Structure 1
Amino acid sequence: MSMMKVLALLGALTPAAALAHDAAGHGGAAPLPVVSDVMTKALKDYPGKEITLISVDYPPGTVEPIHHHDAHAVVYVLQGTIVMGVKGGKEQTLKAGDTFYEGPDDIHTVGRNASQTEPAKFVVFILKDAKKPLVMTGP
């Protein structure tokens, strides 16, 4: 993913994150996740598919907007504690070394830093159709 795509993604998430945070009754804007592209690679053995690896930093208090990936996504927590959940599933609290899976039909309804004082960091491995966007906001 190019830096322009990352910036466009963050621009798209900004209003939704603010609305999600305000709707949760926290008042004020929540910090946004900082998403960095690590790599994207076309998979020759799987025509039309690619794998993308992103790094996500959650400043203290980060709350993500509802979104989905239309892809297989595996989260691996590197630092801190995060809370993740998909529609119809239970929220899961994850710490360094824990993993979380989202399928193509899952709607990611919960994504937040469990701490108001400590940052969190994780990587996400995403297997997706090459022509589809990395993330789509809303259900």
Structure 2
Amino acid sequence: MIRAIFTAGAVVLAVASSPVYAEGSPALQETVTPVFEREIPNIRGKSLIALEVVYQPGGASPSHRHAQSAFIYAYVLSGEIVSAVNDETPHVYRAGESWFEEPGAHHRVSRNASETEPAKLLAIFVVDRGERQLVLPDPD
């Protein structure tokens, strides 16, 4: 199944180009682009959504949670990304490495490890069908 997800994601990645949102000020921090969405036919009420996240050099996401129903698998496509979920110690993930987030997890750290090179990851969500708010920034 993972191979099928990556194959489908890679095909869609090749043709997707419009960003969903960009965070950060004043410089662009991250760009999130949808690459794949499909209902999972053998898991009632669930959908699979894949997003490409590109961090500019020095870019970061604010501390956040995801939709309560979301199980997330993150795979680094290029560069190096520093990530910490819940009480984990921040860890540098390099191209080809991955991590996962359980539903309700607190993603405290998510940033590009480099100040000079961009970094890219593929985030694969299994969520309740119709879920639209995938990222819930922490309150200020």
Considering the TM-score relative to the shorter chain, is it more than 0.5? yes
CA distance, structure 2, for counterparts of residue 30 and residue 114 of structure 1 = 17
Offset, 1:44: 1.7
Q: For residue 113 of structure 2, what is the aligned residue in structure 1?
A: 114
CA distance, structure 1, for counterparts of residue 129 and residue 29 of structure 2 = 26
Mapping of residues 11-90 of structure 1, within 5 Å: 14=23, 17-18=24-25, 29=26, 31-69=28-66, 70=68, 71-90=70-89
In structure 1, what residue type is equivalent to 2:60? V
Q: Does 1:135 align with 2:135?
A: yes
Offset, 1:46: 1.3
SS at structure 2 position matched to 1:45: coil
In structure 1, what residue type is equivalent to 2:134? L
More helix by share: 1
Offset, 1:130: 1.5
Q: Does 1:99 align with 2:98?
A: yes
* Segments ≥4 residues shifted beyond 6 Å: none
- Across the aligned residues of Structure 1 and Structure 2, the Cα RMSD in angstroms comes to 1.9
Offset, 1:131: 3.0
Offset, 1:36: 0.7
Per-residue CA deviation, residues 62-111 of structure 1 (Å, 9 max, x unaligned), is 01111111311111111111100112111110001100111112110100
Offset, 1:30: 5.4
Offset, 1:41: 0.3
Q: Residues 73 and 103 of structure 1 are in contact (CA less than 8 Å); yes or no, is this contact kept in structure 2?
A: yes
Q: Percent identical across equivalent pairs?
A: 33
TM-score by length of 1: 0.77
CA distance, structure 1, for counterparts of residue 36 and residue 62 of structure 2 = 24
Q: 1:30 to 1:94 in 2, by over 3 A?
A: farther
Question: Structure 1: 5+ residue runs without aligned partners?
Answer: 19-28
More strand by share: 2
